[in-house]
Structure 1
Amino acid sequence: MKQTTIKKRVELSSYCWIISALSTALMCGVFIYALKQPDNEWAVCILGVAIALLFLFTLCYMPLSISLDNESLNINRSLKIKSIPLTEIANVKLCAPTMGAKRICGSGGWFGWYGWFSEKNLDKYFAYYGKASDCFLVTLKNGKKYMLGCKDAPEMVNAINEKINQ
């Protein structure tokens, strides 16, 4: 079988860009202000570590692109690639998250949406997306669900369905 790879970029919504830029600017401003205060070494260290950890978690989970090859569906992140073998996928369909989605643990727009979410009609799922309008739901045979998003989501969904139905 010929090896084919499809790769689509995750695009962030305007909301994500605004929230990310404002939050980052605010954190930098508070950090710079704390640096200028006398006798504040411990506070500066704690604040610096907290900001570094926040950005580290972002680098670990923020989705950059979604790719598909003959063996797996891949969520490409800055520091790691999450691979889902095609043999484990039961169903893939276009599905945007609703406004009723509850964040259990994760980011609600800071450099995208990633982490655990819950919705009444979908139950619990792990999300990796930048725009709600670009989303699709991947359900595994073991019941786990992933809300993924990328540019040209309908094309990606069709490509995944073709591969899992071969």
Structure 2
Amino acid sequence: MMKKQVVLSSYCWIISALSTALMCGVFVYALKRPDNDLAVWILGAAIVVLFLFTLCYMPLSISLDNESLNINRSLKIKSIPVAEIMEVKLCAPTMGAKRICGSGGWFGWYGWFSEKDLGKYFAYYGKASDCFLVTLKNGKKYMLGCKDAPEMVNAIKEKINQ
């Protein structure tokens, strides 16, 4: 079994820290204002929902075993059976990638993206330079990223060819 950590870029750390600090600051400010009970509840609920989505989708590591490629997240593990993988290649997302629905740097990149050359894909990565593209036999695509991506790509290729 191989397991590689997802490393967040400096951009991700800065965006995540600033956004979290801003949300907390606005929440504390709203708490101190009189007659803002409804606003505080709505703001608090929105912050909780944002962090729940982050816990559900933020990639922590990528692992490979004999049967599946796993995207390990805080609350869930997304497993892709090796038998369903058609192709895997090193491939960094481009600056022209359009976010359809997901995070563009807040605790990583995750969600649906679209690019002119690649089409639509689901992303789970922390740094664009660590990425590889997994294409399934049914046409679905995943942009994944982890430390030592070339090593992970070679290991996946070996499993596919077995």
Give the deviation of 1:132 after TM superposition.
0.1
- Alignment-derived partner of residue 163 in structure 1: 159
The code of the aligned residue for 2:66 comes to N
The answer for the alignment partner of 1:54 in structure 2 is 50
2:78 match: 82
Code of the residue aligned with 1:90 in structure 2: it is: M
Ranges in structure 1 where 5+ consecutive residues have no aligned partner: none
C-alpha separation in 1, matches of 2:95 and 2:128: 10
**Could you tell me how far apart the structure 1 residues matched to 2:43 and 2:136 are?**
40
Which runs of 5 or more structure 2 residues have no equivalent in the other structure?
Answer: none
2:16 maps to which of 14, 20, 23 = 20
Q: Take 2:145 and 2:80, find their aligned partners in 1: how far apart are those partners?
A: 15
| Aligned amino acid, residue 55 of structure 2 | L
2:16 counterpart letter in structure 1: S
* Structure 2 residue matching 1:158: 3-state secondary structure: helix
CA deviations on 1:9-64 (whole Å, 9 max, x unpaired) are 00000000000000000000000000000011100000000000000000000000
Match of 2:25 in 1: 29
**What is the rounded CA distance, in whole Å, between the counterparts of 1:54 and 1:47 in structure 2?**
11
Give the superposition deviation at 1:113. Answer: 0.2
Q: How many residues matched?
A: 162
Calculate the aligned-residue CA RMSD, in Å: 0.2
Segments of 4+ in structure 1 off by > 4 A? none
Amino acid at match of 2:25: G
1:153 maps to 2:149? yes
Distance, in Å, in 2 between the alignment partners of 1:148 and 1:106 is: 14
Q: TM-score, normalised by structure 2?
A: 1.00
Give identity over the alignment, percent: 88
CA–CA distance in structure 1, aligned partners of residues 23 and 2 of structure 2: 37
What whole-Å deviation, never above 9, does each CA across 1:82-112 have from its counterpart, x for those lacking one?
A: 0000000000000000000000000000000
Report the 3-state secondary structure (helix = DSSP H, G, I; strand = E; otherwise coil) of the residue aligned with 2:78.
Answer: strand
1:63-96 Cα distance to aligned partner (Å, 9 max, x none): 0000000000000000000000000000000000
